[in-house]
Structures are given as structure tokens and as C-alpha cells.
Chain A
């Protein structure tokens, strides 16, 4: 079955530490990949997306992600985190349903806590 996996459920880091959050998907066709963030009490919002071209994409607030097709992965990275990065992070993949329609599918999310 098509799915999106995030293996880190809760990550705790100190400020200035480097971050990498894992995301894997299972789907053999062309995919469009996204990372969304949900700050406490706020809407989900887009961090970055990949749909073609350079597999290393840069997003807002210093985040980047690398698409590795052979590993079905789209990991999120940030070289130096800040306390304000405390949030929940969701990987999402635009899959194609059995009826040929776009179906935006999310992973289970990773809660990131940054300790000042």
C-alpha cells in the first residue's frame, strides 16, 4: 500500500544542534514531496517542496531537504536549530489514487523540542 513513514516521533535537541528528520514513502511512480510545519496553536504551513530538478531543495527558515529516489527518502535538515523551531513536522507525498486523482498523504509527524 502507498504510505509515508516518519520514524522519529519525538526529537529533543539543544539550540545550535544540527537536525535531520527522516521521511520515507512507498510508491513506485512519480511523486511530489512536501514538508509542512505546525507551530503550537497555528495552522499547518509549507516549509518546502520538491517536484523535479535539483534533489536538494531549500525552504523557509533555513530548512532544506534532499530527495534520494533510490532510497524513497526525503529527509529534512537544518544545520543549526533555534528555540523557535519547536513545532511538529509532517512529511507529505502527493500520491495518485486508484482512480487517478491526487491524494495528499501525510506521515505521522515528528514533534521537535528545542531546549534553550
Chain B
């Protein structure tokens, strides 16, 4: 079974803090994605990566950055957390061929106070 593991299920951070969300997949997938999920807005793509050290902005990259130093790990960084970044964050991975399904982690519920 493919496993996508996000380091935390729940996080509470203060405004202005630097926040790291970690994601690890165990299936040697090339593609990895970070989304945020908000009620009524669905899943919005923040960043994605198609190879080690390769990344591309998604639809809402402002206020975020990412790091992919190893194939299995994809980190999302909130440089200076703000209350409007309170959300559920989902990580996903998939094989390179675009017919392949994405596998999701369980999500990290981040609250910024």
C-alpha cells in the first residue's frame, strides 16, 4: 500500500512564526503536491514538485515556499504565518505519468492564532 505521511495531524502556531509542514511518501513517486482545503473552496494547489529540487508554483503560492531535497520528502514552509493561513493542508504524491492517481496524506489541520 502506498503511504503518504504528514508529520502532524494538528498544529497551533502564532502569527509571525515560521512553520514547517513535512510530508513523506514511500512509493518512489516523482510528483508531489501541497494543497490547502477550505470549506466551499475545495482543494487549491499551493506548490508542486516533479523531481528532486524541482518545483513549480500552483494557484495560490503567496506566503508559502517548498523544499524537496530528497525524492520521498516534500516540505511546505510558511515563512511568517498569518491567520488567513489557518486551514487543512493536504500532501499528495503520484507517479510521473499523468494518468496515474494521486495518493493523499491524512492532512494537517493548522490553526494560526
**Using a Cβ cutoff of 8 Å, how many contacts connect chains A and B?**
60
Given contacts A44-B104, A97-B56, contact A108 B42 (CB under 8 A): yes
Docked complex Cα distance between A106 and B96 (Å): 18
A-side contacts of B94, CB under 8 Å: 102, 104
A6-64 with Cβ < 8 A to chain B: 6, 9, 32, 34, 43-46, 49, 51
Contact A104 B33 (CB under 8 A): yes
User: Is B66 positioned at the interface, with any CB of A under 8 Å from its CB?
Assistant: no
A-side contacts of B96, CB under 8 Å: 102
Smallest CB gap from B35: residue in A: A106
Partner of A94, one of B41, B98, B107: B98
Contact B45 A103 (CB under 8 A): yes
B-side contacts of A51, CB under 8 Å: 98-99
Smallest CB gap from A110: residue in B: B42
Contact B45 A108 (CB under 8 A): no
B6-38 with Cβ < 8 A to chain A: 31, 33, 35
CB distance from B59 to the nearest CB of A (A): 8
User: Is B64 positioned at the interface, with any CB of A under 8 Å from its CB?
Assistant: no
Given contacts A43-B106, A102-B50, contact A108 B40 (CB under 8 A): yes
Given contacts A43-B105, A51-B99, contact A103 B58 (CB under 8 A): yes
B residues touching A (Cβ–Cβ < 8 Å)? 31, 33, 35, 40-45, 48, 50, 56, 58-59, 90, 92, 94, 96, 98-99, 101-102, 104-107
Beyond A34-B101, A94-B98, A104-B48, 8 additional pairs, beta carbon < 8 A: A43-B107, A46-B101, A92-B102, A96-B98, A102-B94, A104-B31, A106-B43, A108-B41
* A to B CB contacts below 8 Å, 5 in the list: A44-B43, A90-B43, A101-B50, A104-B45, A108-B40
